[in-house]
Amino acid sequence: MIRYLAAAVALKIFSLNSLTRSGYRRLGNRFGQKKRRQQSIDKYVERGDLLVELARKYGVLKDGAALVELGTGWIHWFGLYLALHVEGEVSLELYDVWDNRQLDALKSSFGKLAARWEKDTGITTMQHERLTSILMADSFEELYRRLNASYTIESNGSLAAYPGDSYDAIVSFHVMEHISSSFIEQSIGDMYRMLKPGGYCIHQIGIDDHLAHYDSKVSKKNYLCYSFSRRKYLFENVVQYHNVLQGADYQSFFINAGFDILEVDRELCDISGLIVHEDWSGYSREDQETTILTIVCRKLL
């Protein structure tokens, strides 16, 4: 619990003002890039393969597909990984709220993917060529030209500038939990507007306690022990904001926006050792146990 509390205090301090928040991002980019160059890509590939599986299941990977990745982070992994598997040409929109791009980390991660693909006889010539294009790019601008991609930074998190009825799929992995709870419904409404009729949203959402990432001895749903107000006062921060919305909340937001929910998958944890505060009693046991929610929705024809 000590690491959990220490992380909470540190993130509160980094969230104090624009200067401390800027310092947090600079430190994260400076010291995080080396770590990201050295990290395993196993989890990235696992989640990327899930995204490709779902996209294939619903016919998203087609020639001429127009795709959007929300929250591209340091290496644009999921948007680029999906583009590598499209059967034909693709246009790719990459969106984030601040610029964390790290070309060295990106090329290191996709270089590790190239090493894997050398042993995979199922990889097509087109896929190898696209991956080579990523590895040969000397700048992000060159990378975008090579892959028919574009990159947008919108610090206020709004999707309002995107045209309506224009995209086949909008995807994100561990991004939506960081959208303000007061803004999430508007964001989902914009996603509905942006998609072509019959277009898809594919999102994986982290509902676990993000402070528990710093302390393996703490429950993955530790925040359930606290009232809404106490959790917000003690643990909510700006630099790693987590809205702690639950599975039922997200499903309601998508339905209210007009989406048809096609499938929902949950990763669960054991919360039998927790004393769940009464503020969370309105959620089902399944919601309380959910750490990761994967949801696929379709805009009605």
Paired with 167 in beta bridges are 195
Instruction: Tell me how far apart the alpha carbons of residues 126 and 117 are, in angstroms, rounded to a whole number.
Output: 12
Work out how many domains the chain is built from and give that number.
Answer: 1
Low-confidence ranges of the chain (pLDDT < 70): 30-38
How much is the pLDDT for 242?
96
DSSP secondary structure string, 143-210?
HHHHHTEEEEE-TT---TTSPSS-EEEEEEES-GGGS-TTTHHHHHHHHHHHEEEEEEEEEEEE-S-G
Mean pLDDT of the chain: 94
How much is the pLDDT for 26?
79
Do the beta carbons of residue 95 and residue 70 sit within 8 Å?
A: yes
How much is the pLDDT for 53?
97
How much is the pLDDT for 19?
92
The enclosing domain of 227 has a CATH number of 3.40.50.150
Instruction: Tell me how far apart the alpha carbons of residues 89 and 62 are, in angstroms, rounded to a whole number.
Output: 8
Instruction: Tell me how far apart the alpha carbons of residues 35 and 50 are, in angstroms, rounded to a whole number.
Output: 24
How much is the pLDDT for 194?
98
How much is the pLDDT for 206?
97
How much is the pLDDT for 35?
65
How much is the pLDDT for 39?
77
Instruction: Tell me how far apart the alpha carbons of residues 176 and 204 are, in angstroms, rounded to a whole number.
Output: 8
How much is the pLDDT for 178?
96
How much is the pLDDT for 24?
83
Domain extent, residue 237, equals 2-298
Instruction: Tell me how far apart the alpha carbons of residues 135 and 131 are, in angstroms, rounded to a whole number.
Output: 6
